[in-house]
Copies of this chain bind each other. A is one copy, B any other.
Amino acid sequence: MAGYSNNKDRHLQRLRRIEGQVRGLQRMVDEDKYCIDVLTQVSAVTRALQSFSLELLDEHMAGCVVEAAAKGGREADDKVREASEAIARLVRS
């Protein structure tokens, strides 16, 4: 079971809203909407994805990372390194 499973419904709802926003972008391009308005909408989708990933990461740390840390040893190190790498990808993307 993944660490975010308690909030699965909320995450799915969120992702469906993001999917709707991406379809909205397609409509805007299809109707030749003004570039700047399309760009504003892209920023909104990017921020929504960012919020989603920050929440997922928070749940992951409060769940898997804390659990592994409680056990200690090699697994704790691995989980921290893995989380750090995921954070670096988020910060750099």
Contacts and interface: CB of A to CB of B under 8 A. Distances in A.
Contacts of A76: 66, 69
Contacts of A64: 35
A33 to B, nearest CB: 7
A74 interface: no
A61 B36 contact: no
Interface string A24-43: 01100110111110111011
Contacts of A35: 2-4, 56-57, 59-60, 64
Given A46-B49, A61-B80, A80-B66, A25 B15 contact: yes
Given A54-B87, A80-B66, A84-B58, A30 B43 contact: no
